[in-house]
Every structure is written in C-alpha cells, then in structure tokens.
Amino acid sequence: MKLIDKFGRTIDYLRISVTDRCNLRCVYCMPEKGVETIPHSEILRYEEILKIVDVAITLGIKKIRVTGGEPLVRKGIIGFLSELSHRKVDFSVTTNGILLGDFADDLKKAGVKRINVSLDTLSEKKFSEITRGGVLKKVINGIVKAKALGFEPLKINAVVLPDTSEEDIKTFIEFAKTNGLVVRFIEHLPFAGYRTNQLVALEKSCKMKYNLIPTDVEGFGPGRHYKMNGATIGFISALTFPFCRKCNRLRLTSDGKLLPCLSSLDFVDVKKAVRNCASDEEIKNLFFEAVKNKPEKHTFENPRDCMAVKSMVGIGG
Ligand code: SAM
Ligand code: SF4
C-alpha cells in the first residue's frame, strides 16, 4: 500500500530532523538567547528512527533528507547515516557546513552521496551577523573538501534576506562556477517572528540583467532553475509561488512527530507508538493518518494554527 493523500498526491519523501540542537543561531531560525531545547530523553533514538524508516520504505518512501537543527552536532550521526545507506532509499544530508571539513571523509565512508550546504552569503561580516558568530572560512573549507571528495551534486541553499543584493547573487554565481556547485536561492518563510520577501524581486532583476537560460534539472525539486555562464542557479519561492500541488513530503521531527505539512499542527505522535512497542502495522496506520491530515496548501497566516509559531530548527528544514 502506498501513501496517497485525498488530493491524489503520492507521498514518497520523508525529511527527518535528528536533533533540535545547532552550533549556529541564524537570525531567521533561532532566537539569540533562551533557546528551549527538547530534553534528550524525548529525542528519538537512532534505532527508533530506523524502525520508522523501515516501515516508511514499505509504504513507498523513496527519498529521505536528514536535517535538523544541525545534524552533524548529534553524537553518532555517522553510524546512523551508515545504517541508512544499507536501506533501499535515496538519502541526503542538509548541513550548515561548519563541521563539514571535519566530517566530509566520514560522510563519504558512511555512504552519503549528496549534501546540501546552507550558506546565505559569501561575505565574512554578513555571515557572522546572520549566524550570530559563525566563521565563514570553515564552511568554505568544508565545501571545497566535500567537492574534492566527489559529493555530487553539491548544492548550496541561500535564504534571501532583506539586504541580499544583486551583487551577492553575482558573487554566488562566480563561486558556483569556480567550484562546480549548484546555488539555490530560497524564499524566507515567516518563522521565528522574522519576515522578509526579497526573492521574487531579485529573480526578476537578475533575469533582466543577465542571460538566464531556464533549465529543467531532474531531481532538483520545486523551483525555477537557470543556467548562467556555466553555473546552475535556482529560485525557490514556497510562499509566492507555492508548489503544494506537487508536494510529496512528510516530516519527522526530532521528538518523533510526523508532520503532514510545515504549516500544520495536525501531527501524529510516532514516538509514543514506537516506545509502546507498536507493531509495523500500527506504525503504518500512523503514516496513513498523517497523510490523511495533509492540507491541500500551506498557510502561514494564522500562527495559532500552524507550525510557524515554532522555528524551523525544531521541525527540520
Ligand atoms: N542546520 C542545517 C542547515 O542550516 O542546513 C539544517 C537545518 S536548517 C533548519 C535547514 C534549512 O532551513 C536551512 O537551509 C535554512 O536556511 C532553512 N531555513 C531555516 N529557517 C528558514 C526560514 N524561516 N525560511 C526559509 N528557510 C529557512
Ligand atoms: Fe542552525 Fe540551520 Fe537554523 Fe541556522 S538554519 S540556526 S544552521 S538549524
């Protein structure tokens, strides 16, 4: 039996947040101080996640993204990824890149093929401001090392912020060309009380100024992609041009909630079931329930009704 929702969408993609902890404090994702973390005992253990993954695979989940928080700060992450690599599922990791230089070799050995690095600027000063103290050089070293080790494609995801300029985009494109990367500009989503929407205007002015050639890139997910001077760049605007009609994903939070949509609080508690020694059949039914709860579209309008009251760090971006 496959996971198909009431709008006819087949659900075959699971994003798994393995931790709500992070070694950065990005302004749009986390408060500067007073971050409330989930107690360790409430975080899914790796063997619990793997049990859920095994059931998910029997239901047609084909693709998994491991995210967080920052996945590379969780102890034992390499062993977990190595376990995942023995499953029949296409999986990848999203990281802020701070520890990528230290972990790249181990990630390769663990069977990870694809990595997304989140990096919003190539200016040291801006990077330190956005991440509240992060060191850009570490991320760049991590990217260069990962590229040299053959992670392909190596994608950079850059959230567009109020002071992201055309010049920033040009610098990213040069960086992508030099290092053989894909850069995707992401529209900011209104989490953590921080709101901006610059992406569409920037895309428009870039299209007028530069020779952007639209391109379809298989496996690159939603968004508009272009070739430009040998680089591939994408613009992903979940708010302005929602791609809900094609949405194929569920999210598993680090504390074991199965979320039908980023903007929905209609979650199903899988941790409770797993800890009560639920059978595979019972876990399957929870997946069906989550899919049944999947809304037709996301909405970030009413904070009380959606996960926008929380930040991405707890949900898993
Ligand atoms: N720590 C890892 C990282 O930064 O790549 C993984 C978790 S992070 C929550 C995953 C992605 O969510 C990052 O690319 C980050 O930029 C993005 N993100 C976080 N808050 C966001 C927001 N409000 N709007 C859009 N993207 C956001
Ligand atoms: Fe941490 Fe990623 Fe959120 Fe930045 S975006 S605070 S790196 S989880």
Distance 292 CA to ligand 2 centre (A): 30
Ligand 2 proximity of 30 Cβ (cutoff 6 Å): yes
Q: What's the CATH number for 13-314? A: 3.20.20.70
User: Best substitution site from 118, 132, 135, 251 to test ligand 2's pocket, by max atoms within 8 Å of Cβ?
Assistant: 118
Ligand 1 proximity of 121 Cβ (cutoff 6 Å): no
Tokens at 282, concatenated: 């019972």
Q: Would you mind telling me the total number of residues written for the chain in this entry?
A: 317
Do residues 187 and 199 lie in contact, with contact meaning Cβ atoms separated by under 8 Å?
yes
Average predicted confidence (pLDDT) for the chain: 89
Ligand 2 proximity of 310 Cβ (cutoff 6 Å): no
State yes or no: pLDDT of 297 exceeds 80.
no
Residue 174 DSSP SS3: helix
Of 6, 122, 110, 15, the closest CA to residue 69 belongs to 15
| Sign, CA torsion 180/246/302/308 | negative
In terms of phi and psi (left: phi > 0; alpha: psi -120 to 50; beta: otherwise), the region of 130 is alpha
Report pLDDT for 151.
95
Residue 301 DSSP SS3: coil
User: Best substitution site from 186, 187, 311 to test ligand 1's pocket, by max atoms within 8 Å of Cβ?
Assistant: 186
Ligand 1 proximity of 103 Cβ (cutoff 6 Å): no
Ligand 1 proximity of 94 Cβ (cutoff 6 Å): yes
State yes or no: pLDDT of 227 exceeds 90.
no
Do residues 102 and 124 lie in contact, with contact meaning Cβ atoms separated by under 8 Å?
no
State yes or no: pLDDT of 115 exceeds 60.
yes
Q: Which atom of ligand 1 is nearest to the CA of 238?
A: 25
> Residue 209: how many CA atoms within 13 Å on its side-chain side?
10
Beta bridge partners of 10: 4
d(CA 121, CA 268): 36
Ligand 2 proximity of 67 Cβ (cutoff 6 Å): no
Report pLDDT for 315.
64
d(CA 130, CA 196): 14
Mean pLDDT lowest for which of 93-97, 155-159, 297-301?
297-301
Distance 312 CA to ligand 1 centre (A): 6
Distance 317 CA to ligand 1 centre (A): 5
More confident residue, 165 or 53: 53
Distance 276 CA to ligand 1 centre (A): 32
- Helix ranges (H only) for the chain are 46-58, 77-85, 100-109, 124-131, 136-148, 166-179, 199-209, 270-275, 280-292, 312-315
Average pLDDT over residues 182-210: 77
Of 266, 199, 268, 142, the closest CA to residue 28 belongs to 199
> For the CA atoms of the chain, what is the radius of gyration?
19
Which residues, other chains included, contact 33 with Cβ-Cβ below 8 Å and sequence gap of 6+?
Answer: none
Ligand 2 proximity of 118 Cβ (cutoff 6 Å): yes
State yes or no: pLDDT of 291 exceeds 90.
yes
Distance 313 CA to ligand 1 centre (A): 7
Hey, how many other C-beta atoms are within 10 angstroms of the C-beta on 289?
Answer: 15
